[in-house]
Amino acid sequence: MRAGLCLLLLVIAPGLQAETWGGEPTEDGRPPVPASRLDSTADHHKFAELKVPLETGPQVTRACLKCHTEAARQVQESIHWTWDYHQPETGQRLGKRNIINNLCLMVPGNEPRCTSCHTGYGWEGPDYDFTLEENVDCLACHDTTGTYVKFPTGAGHPPLEDRTFQGELIQAPDLNHVARNVGETSRETCGACHFEGGGGDAVKHGDLDSSLLDPPRSVDVHMSPQGGDFSCSTCHEFSGHRQNASRYHINADPQAGIAIPGRRNERPSCESCHGHTPHDPRIHNKLNRHAEFIACQTCHVPELARGGLSTKTLWDWSTAGRLDEDGNPVVETNAEGRVIYHGNKGSMEWAEDYPPEYRWFNGNMRYTLPEETINPSQIVNINVPEGTPRAEGSVIWPFKIMMGRQPYDKVHQTLLPAKLFGPEEDAFWTGYDWDQALAAGVEAAREAGHEGLRFSGEYGFVETRMYWPVNHMVAPAEDSLGCAQCHGQDGRLEDLPGVYIPGRDRHPWIERAGWWAVGGVSLLVLLHGALRLILYRRERRAIWGR
């Protein structure tokens, strides 16, 4: 009898459930979600546009744009699309399209590789149509399935069939499935490019890597599920597909305070949530006073690369080109498995859990642009944080330093781009010939609009330095820096110029004269006292005989 009842329940239970949740199972086999629980007012599974077979990225975009009519134009105005940024304070033309760095040098000539992180499809060279709306890649940012991927050398296209890259199988995504499951951006979508910058996980930034997908609280209080469980866009708010943050032009001294609807908003600054006086004032309010001229990150991001992945600290191109007997590039790794030498790229160094460097910073990054002449007898700063000690708007900020040795033109005294990627002989990773690769790189850069760039044919390698502002991996308050880490000898701010730091600084003359005086008067007092004591005893002996 009881068995029969159970059987009956089993039969009717799924029906009950279906009735309760009020919907038919979707064609993906997903259980339906009650309308009131959906994050969106539209269920993309129901859209006819997404039911027709979608074979390519641009086809997906065309389908998206049928409803989201302005989306592509919005994206095309953003730096994620243009890779072009006019820095209003320095007047420099920056952005990935314009700068040269000391990682993979420069975009022109290497587009299919570099532009695998472009929010578009098909940027393969200088003729790319930046106005074609179907070229915008919606899925790179809005995929929620985790299956969408842009092929590493595909100029932003996903693989249309399963392909391998460096021995790793990369599966072609089911674009219909991905398109029907679009949603908000996530750490996975942002991280696909921002964690992988510089050619791999954790390479570039030192404060952005895949450990932020699911970090423990100790690594990132905001993003940890045990902490705020923020995604990137919790702080990096987008409006009309644009957002404020830029490492070329940081709001180093946000004054708007806590972001209140209807008031000026300066996200993603720390202050837009925490305000200007986040610390318990205690007796002297010194921490809040410090916050007036020290960036929050300086104390609250105590180390770089804290998530268990090392970050690249040096890239020496000058040693690149070693091949084995079979003509394949020599590859050497360290104990952690990080590449310390690669025939394609040269020598590298890595570091983990190490202190950043600190500089005065007013938010403006000044670059040594490819057309600018350099002084190769000293380390060339690829970029420099601008700022004035103790001045209004300048704060002490942490930076990851990326050192490099990279090609420069000995005659024109400029840094040089190189064609690295491609099947042609003039690509360094194919022909291993700097002369050809540099000539091709310069040619590509000229075609891309850098007409001022020339290659004399004489090249050398120059030491370079790059500053990467540190903002992420904010530690729990109890792990932030203590006073003595800066207020002391050999501390974090040992090299910071332009400011007297109690505990670190002293005037050599005052110090010397002061201790001599203290020592001198002490000695005088001791001698004086000793003499009195001796005379007193002698006198006492003379009188009393003892």
Partner 1 sequence: MTEVRVFTLFERFWHWAQAAIIFGMLFTGLEIHGTYQLLGYDLAFSTHVVLAWCLIALTAFAIFWHLTTGEWRQYLPDYHGIWPMVLYYTYGIFSGEHKPYTTTPAAKHNPLQRLAYFGFKAAIAPALWLSGLILLFDAWWRGTVVDQVISFAAVAYVHVAATFAMMVFIIAHVYLAATTGHPWYAYLKSMITGYKEMD
> Which residues of this chain interact with partner 1, rule CB under 8 A?
282-284, 286, 289, 292-293, 390-392, 482-484, 487-489, 499-500, 502-507, 510-511, 513-515, 517-518, 521-522, 525, 528-529, 531-532, 535, 539
For partner 1, give the closer residue by CB, 16 or 513.
Answer: 513
Cβ–Cβ contacts within 10 Å for residue 221, how many? Answer: 20
Decide: 344 and 391 in contact? Cβ < 8 Å.
Answer: no
| CB-nearer residue toward partner 1: 32 or 278 | 278
**CA–CA distance from 34 to each of 17, 29, 275 (Å)?**
11, 15, 39
Nearer Cβ to partner 1 (30/390): 390
CB nearer to partner 1: pick between 93 and 504? 504
CB of 300 to partner 1, least distance (A): 16
Q: Which residue has the tokens 């030498």?
A: 341
Compute the least distance from the CB of residue 513 to partner 1, in Å. Answer: 7
Q: By C-beta, is 30 or 507 nearer to partner 1? A: 507
Q: What is the DSSP string of 478-522?
A: GGSPPGGGTSSTT-TTTT--S---BTTB--HHHHHHHHHHHHHHH
Whether the link from the prior residue into 268 is cis, omega within 30° of 0, is: yes
Reading the block at residue 226, the tokens are: 């045990």
Q: Which is nearer to partner 1, 4 or 508 (CB)?
A: 508
Shortest Å distance, C-beta 276 to partner 1: 12
Contacts of 399 (CB under 8 A, 6+ apart): 356, 357, 358, 359, 385, 467, 468, 469, 470
The structure tokens 């990096």 sit at: 236
Residue number, 37 or 284, with CB nearest to partner 1: 284
Task: Name the residue with tokens 């069939």.
Answer: 161
CA distances from 466 to 33, 164, 204, 315 (A): 49, 33, 11, 11
Give the C-alpha separation, 315 to 103, whole Å: 7
Least separation in angstroms between residue 200's CB and partner 1 is 40
Q: How far is the CB of 485 from partner 1 (least distance, A)?
A: 9
Closest separation in Å from C-beta 361 to partner 1: 15
Q: Which is nearer to partner 1, 161 or 509 (CB)?
A: 509
Please, what is the minimum distance in Å from the beta carbon of residue 446 to partner 1?
Answer: 45
Q: Which residues of 410-454 form beta strands (DSSP E)? A: 414-415
Rounded to the nearest whole angstrom, what is the least distance from the CB of residue 359 to partner 1 in the complex? 17
Which of 335, 510 has the CB closer to partner 1? 510
- Residue 522 C-beta: closest distance to partner 1, Å: 6
Which residues 6+ apart lie within 8 Å of 55 measured at CB? 160, 175
Beta bridge partners of 467: 401
For 68, residues 6+ apart whose C-beta sits below 8 A from its C-beta are: 138
Per DSSP bridges, beta strands 395-409 and 311-316 are parallel
